[in-house]
Structure 1
Amino acid sequence: MPGTVSSLELFPPLTRSGLRQFLTSAWYPKFQRSTIKTTTIPLDDAFRAYMHADGVTIPRGADDRLVVRILRPAGSMLSDDEGDDGDDGDDDPSSVFEFPDLDRSIREAIAAYDGAVFPKLNWSAPKDARWISPSPPLRCLSPADVYLLIKSSDFVSHGIDAATAFEACIDNDATVNPHSASHDGLPLELVLKKYYVMQESREVRCFVRRNILVAISQRDPNYYEFWNEDATQTKIRQTVAELFQREIQQRWEGPTDYVVDLLLTRDLNRAHIIDFNPYAPRTDSLLFTFDELLAIAEDEVLQTQLPVLRAIDSRNHPSAARNTPQYAHNMVPLDLIQASAGQDYAGFAGNWEDAIREAMAKQQDDSD
């Protein structure tokens, strides 16, 4: 771990231009040989309006297979008359969305990537909406699958407005228009990665200060015995340090303080880049605190050694997963929580079913 790190701040200053370097379209061209195959699709103001629109609806013309799988178990069919209470609602026809060019681009990416993709919007993946898709989660086979996931995600919705995205930047301008896709230089982009069944037990998060790799954390909050074997930990530290020096350190063009997520191969000899994240409070420091990371980065002895590694060392570790599912507090979009009005599961499911069926029927009526 060569280099010298001194006089660091807990969090380095972050500018808007620096933050934009963490968009996939900014870093993917330089790292495509070291990461998962990815297609990035620029989006316009119409799509931003769709993301800001109330409710979870599927744009007209998109394949709705995922919606049908959610609303009814396999072998069950929706009736056109089922649940119709005669209330047409107050929806404005102008709120019906369709994106034929985007649908086509998504289908082309799905076809190019063996039939399935994993979506992101700007910096955010809809991991908090994984509950809404059938197993395997976050696997998208059609444009409708993509739309449903990103529209149901709080993570995604929080990351698409300049007012939110740039709020911690030292050159933030609070007067930007939050409904313009091009405002203040913040693009809106859909990222489609080739879908793989990721072994979360082999994912690591790496912390970099002034372009020096200082620490590595296990990402999955579960205990794995192999993570606590001395030989395994040494192997992981060596593999990550070598990859960083060979593939990342001299090629990364963004801020010199950053976080990079990696997926180790089964033999732990290689790793693939998953994503880059800003070194900022918005990024989860996992098994470290940011104060601890600062102390590690300023330790001259540690700077001459392999990066510090932390793992879940027992099933009783305070960070270890328990019975509560990850992102449990995100498991229902806010508008559905409001619609549930304290009903039981059956009533809630009925509301969810009615909302999507009515939206799809309205889209069909408007097209006739």
Structure 2
Amino acid sequence: MSFPELTAADILSFQFSSWYPIFSSISIKSTVIRPLSQEFLDYLHSDGVHVPEGSDDLPAESTLSDDEEDAEKSDEDGEIRRFAFPELDVQIRAVISTYGAVFPKLNFSSPKDAAWILPVSSPLKCTSPADVYMLLKSSDFVTHDLSPESVFDGCSSGPCPYELELVLRKWYPVDRSRELRCFVRQNTLLGISQRDTNYYDFLNDEPTQARIVFTVRNFWETNIRARWDAPDYTFDILLTRDLSRGHILDFNPYAPRTDALLFSYESLHALSLTPDSKIEKPELRVIDSRAHPAATSNAPAHQHNMIPFEALSLSSGRDVQEFADAWEEGIKDSLKP
């Protein structure tokens, strides 16, 4: 089984600012901010998680004691670098004022793995520049977008000029059961996969599945097929509550770098070899039981990125109060000379 060769130019066709202007009328309202400063890139690369000065929409008055302020100044003169992005703060606040709230991403990747930073009731909902920075700074996913080397890894041609971009998308509650990933090979819609890894009873209803397949295929043929230049790609879609329409969430390459979710690329390849595949309806795959191998367990997604390893170690065999006491004691020990 072979995959289409990807050039650097091919990869850039999947970055947000490349496809969004074409499909903005059927996607979530979004604003792209670029160019971004080298200092902002340095901030994302820097060690530790800290909020840039002036970004948290709080009064600038200091609450530190004189001794603490002296220590803070000492830090500034030492190894800890302080960051501030007043112009970017203004741009972000303007977008938030327009949309009400936003969720951020970079050229290709969103910080879904850092959703735990903000309230669980409103995952990824940012109402200040500080929220945006904290999500990006806490995410492992977005590091892919920070250098041309990682972005163009595996391409058949050398890197193209690459410019980091910050995307702010209008936030609203999303029912993840209606998120789907669709696979297109040689201009044929082969497969449709549930994106979320939870079991949903309604997705296993046959009439519902038939409606999903009909809607997705009709949406693709009407809105995407003739407007996307390359024959091979994947697209993510969010269906409306009545499963009659859709909104484009993202595009990705048809390649191993894109998660095939409930498919494998071997199974998709087999579908592409089916006789008269161009007139066959795409195959829909969903989590069909709570025992499905891909079904989410009770553990939260991306839990490895939620708390320090030391905290995981200390929590073993302890109740909440015992853990809190042990954590506090560990901090005190680490501060001893």
Q: TM-score range by the shorter chain?
A: 0.7 to 0.9
Q: Distance in 2 between matches of 1:348 and 1:126?
A: 31
Please give the TM-score of this superposition, normalised by the length of structure 2: 0.86
Q: Distance in 1 between matches of 2:314 and 2:287?
A: 39
Paired residues of 1:117 and 1:195 also in contact (CA < 8 A): yes
- For structure 2, list consecutive stretches of 5 or more residues without a partner in the other structure: 316-322, 333-337
Whether 1:204 aligns to 2:180 is yes
1:66-145 aligned at under 5 Å gives the runs 80=64, 88-89=74-75, 92=78, 95-113=81-99, 115-134=100-119, 135-145=121-131
Q: Percent identity?
A: 47
Paired residues of 2:30 and 2:170 also in contact (CA < 8 A): yes
Partner in structure 1 of residue 202 of structure 2: 226
Question: Which residue, 217, 225, 243 being the options, matches 1:249?
Answer: 225
1:10-39 CA-to-partner distances (Å, cap 9, x unmatched) read 322111111011111111111010000000
Paired residues of 1:39 and 1:193 also in contact (CA < 8 A): yes
Partner in structure 2 of residue 30 of structure 1: 22
Partner in structure 2 of residue 63 of structure 1: 56
Whether 1:12 aligns to 2:24 is no
- Out of 223-232 and 263-272, give the one that drifted further: 223-232
The 1:170/1:59 distance shift into structure 2, 3 A limit, reads same
Residue 64 of structure 1, CA deviation: 5.6
1:267-319 CA-to-partner distances (Å, cap 9, x unmatched) read 11101101111112221111001100111112124332111111111111111
- Paired residues in the alignment total 317
1:37-56 aligned at under 5 Å gives the runs 37-42=29-34, 43-56=36-49
> What's the RMSD between the two structures over aligned residues?
2.8
1:213-362 aligned at under 5 Å gives the runs 213-253=189-229, 255-332=230-307, 337=309, 346=324
Q: What SS class does the counterpart of residue 183 from structure 2 fall into?
A: strand
Paired residues of 1:312 and 1:320 also in contact (CA < 8 A): yes
The 1:209/1:95 distance shift into structure 2, 3 A limit, reads same
Q: What SS class does the counterpart of residue 185 from structure 1 fall into?
A: coil
The 1:156/1:64 distance shift into structure 2, 3 A limit, reads farther
Partner in structure 1 of residue 335 of structure 2: none
Q: Distance in 1 between matches of 2:44 and 2:327?
A: 23
Q: Which has the higher contact order (CA 8 A, sep 6+)?
A: 1
Please give the TM-score of this superposition, normalised by the length of structure 1: 0.79
The 1:301/1:269 distance shift into structure 2, 3 A limit, reads same
- For structure 1, list consecutive stretches of 5 or more residues without a partner in the other structure: 1-8, 66-77, 174-183, 355-368
The 1:280/1:331 distance shift into structure 2, 3 A limit, reads farther
Q: Distance in 1 between matches of 2:309 and 2:152?
A: 28
Q: Distance in 2 between matches of 1:205 and 1:211?
A: 16
Residue 86 of structure 1, CA deviation: 6.0
